[in-house]
Chain A
Amino acid sequence: MGPRPTRILLIEDRESDYLLTRRMLSTIEGQAFDLEWASSYGAGLQAIHRAAHEVCLLDSKIDGSDGLELLRESQKSECKAPVIILTGMGDYRLDVEAMEMGAADFLIKDQLTATLLERSIRYAIAQARTLEELRRQQDEIRVSELRFRSVVQSANDAIVQTDENARIIFWNKAAEVIFGYREGEVLGFPLELLMPEWRRPDLRLGFERFRTGGKSQLVGKTIELEGLRKDGSDFPLELSLASWTTSEGTSFTAIIRDITERKRGEEMRCAKEAAEKANRTTSSFVAIVSHELRTPLHAIIGFTNILLQNGSLDTRDLDFLERILRNAENQLRLIDKVLDLGRVEVGMDVELAFVSLETIVNEVVKQFEAGRRNPDVQIVLCVSPSMPVVLTDPAKLKQVLIHLIDNALKFTERGSVTVNVATSSVDSTPVRIDVIDTGPGIPADRLEEIFEPFPRLETEVTRVGAGSGLGLSISRNLCRLLGYRLQVRSRPGRGSTFSILMPASVRTMPSAAERAGPVQGERDCKRG
């Protein structure tokens, strides 16, 4: 068996020409042809649409109409078979016209030989295959291009391409968002448009080095730079650069990410770490200072106490020693408070725990009862029976209470200091602790000043040996740290009330007593 016959469609209204063509094809050796004849315009059109042929031989005049009309129909149709025009006489204009319309060849019947026809058919088919292949490749390129565009345009990173002279030739959507320029505003402009002035020489140098040496230190790396937006603001960016070379030269693709947020996060983390380090440094510094200041006081107080035990000293000497001792003790308290203030101001970690306020207040009051103090002042503790368990920093809350009670005792010569713990379900401050004294009170214009370290008011009192005026300042700072308010109400001659007010957001748990059921009875006030 020979090769598969080539399927040919002949559209020709004259039977003699059909027979001639058939005879001609049959003389061709080595190749079989399967010839279908359409003898009218209509039959030709139908056959074209059926598209069962590999090549079409078309008479330029058919049924008195223009054969080129059928050529046009063929080109419009799905049929991809090449069309060879057969014509009665040579007509250059017709030839050119047919070629422009996509005819594969233009053959003059009188001059036609079997060899010529065979070759024309063979070339037409080969050419059609080439065209088909080209079309397929173009399709692939178009699909690939579409895919590339959609990826590039939907990317969150700016994708910018430049030619080898660093002129922008491509600009995606994200680039518009990041830099604020629309595509039309940047295409053809140098890449350095996107960088702050001071970065530009580096960029120029980089491109220059690439052009002369063929190498760039940037290509293939990810680096952090600064970008310049259209509005003139700059921002940190991360850039990775790729280069590719074609017959048209080298291009660069820059993938640019706005790292403002990341940088901000890094900065915050750095600042936090620095603060924590400073905090640790300060804490250990404070510990060292505390130790160094206490050591000489140990000798002063120690030897003074020893001398005071010595029975051979006279009253005057003993009085002087008492004064030395009192001053040394004042100094010791001062050291503790100054260092405490330093620690609070630097910022301390809050260590939260659920604790019973009653327990805390009891412990603090007990501590004062144990110490030496003025017998004319009573410490009274009032705790409501259904005291909740509160989420707080127990050590710091205790410290505040110690300062407040210490302060109250310091100023109260006669009467009482009452610690009152109260809850309210309607109040905006559901939990409060009041420290109420019967001291001299504070003039209205001094009420804020007392929270300053070393207030003026204090200078009149220090002579009495009461100690430093740092306690209230420390207390206010600690309260602030815990999210509480420290409030004072006072009138001269009517005593003072300092209140720790916990906010409505304070987390509480019902106390054991409350969980056990409603408690009947009065508030429990103990006299200390």
Chain B
Amino acid sequence: MRKIAVVDDNADNRLIIRTILEDQYEIVEFSAGMEAIEGFRKNRPDVVILDISLPEMDGTEILRRIREDTQLYDLPVIALTAHAMVGDREKYLSAGFNDYVPKPILDMNVLFSTIRRWAP
């Protein structure tokens, strides 16, 4: 079973993703950046679903640390965010996220197909 890491400070949001995905994937949850990066080093996930607006260390900063990490630099990271105005998709893709899914998720298939793109 492929392993998906969900990083979001909001428990409801983590629960939604877990519930949608848990039949098909092994889910690991993190609520903060440092904890998540340490977790990734110990137990590397196949795909990371990363929220952007997080207290202390935001998603863009977490992504930067992942990309600078010798072990983790090539992790597929999907931005799952309520930053969903015109131009946000392009902004996060050019920041180095592999993919982008806006919140709220209107069609759960979008989430599945996005994950499959990076963990076939």
Residues of A within 8 A of B (CB): 286-287, 290-292, 294-295, 297-303, 305-306, 309, 328-329, 332, 336, 339, 395, 399
Q: Do residues A306 and B20 form an inter-chain contact, with CB atoms below 8 A?
A: yes
Report the minimum CB–CB distance from A196 to chain B (whole Å).
50
| Cα–Cα, bound, A299→B10 (Å) | 10
Residues of B within 8 A of A292 (CB): 82
Which residue of A290, A298, A328 contacts B16 across the interface (Cβ within 8 Å)?
Answer: A298
Q: Closest approach, in angstroms, between the C-beta of A342 and any C-beta of chain B?
A: 11
Chain B nearest CB: distance from A284 CB in Å?
11
| Distance A287 CA – B86 CA, assembled complex (angstroms) | 10
- Judge whether B105 and A305 touch: CB under 8 Å: yes
Q: How far is the CA of A127 from the CA of B105 in the complex (A)?
A: 111
The answer to the question of B70 belonging to the interface, with a C-beta cut-off of 8 Å to chain A, is no
Question: How far is the CB of B10 from the nearest CB of chain A, in Å?
Answer: 7
Contact A290 B106 (CB under 8 A): no
Q: Is the CB of B84 within 8 A of A290?
A: yes
Does the CB pair A298–B103 fall under 8 Å?
Answer: yes
Q: Is the beta-carbon distance between A291 and B53 smaller than 8 angstroms? A: yes
B42: shortest Cβ distance to chain A, in Å?
29
CA distance A292 to B81 in the complex (A): 11
Min CB distance, A141 to chain B, in Å?
74
Contact A298 B83 (CB under 8 A): no
Ranked nearest first, the 6 interchain pairs of A and B with the lowest CB-CB distance are A302-B16, A294-B82, A298-B104, A298-B103, A301-B104, A299-B12
Docked complex Cα distance between A302 and B13 (Å)? 8
Separation of A63 and B20 alpha carbons in the complex (Å): 142
**What are 24 pairs between A and B in contact, CB < 8 Å?**
A287-B83, A290-B82, A290-B83, A290-B84, A290-B85, A291-B53, A291-B83, A292-B82, A295-B13, A295-B82, A298-B105, A299-B10, A299-B12, A299-B13, A299-B104, A302-B13, A302-B16, A302-B20, A303-B16, A305-B20, A328-B104, A336-B85, A339-B85, A395-B87
CA distance A380 to B100 in the complex (A): 31
Contact mask for chain B residues 86-98; partner A; CB cutoff 8 A; 1 contact, 0 none: 1100000000000
B43 within 8 A of A: no
Which B-chain residue is minimally distant from A331 (CB atoms)?
B104
Bound state CA distance, A332 and B84, in angstroms? Answer: 11
| B84 close to A294 (CB less than 8 A) | yes
In the bound complex, residues from chain A placing their C-beta under 8 Å from that of B34 are none
* Chain A residues with CB below 8 A from B85, complex form: 286-287, 290, 336, 339
A322 to chain B, nearest CB (A): 14
Question: Given the complex, which residues of A lie within 8 Å of B104, measured CB to CB?
Answer: 294, 297-302, 328, 332
Residues of A within 8 A of B86 (CB): 395, 399
What residues on A are CB-neighbors of B106 within 8 Å?
301, 329, 332
Inter-chain CA distance A395–B86, complex, in Å, is: 9
Q: Is B108 an interface residue (CB 8 A)?
A: yes
CA distance A301 to B84 in the complex (A): 16
Nearest B-chain residue to A290, judged by Cβ: B85
Residues of chain B lying within 8 A (CB to CB) of residue A294: 82, 84, 102-104
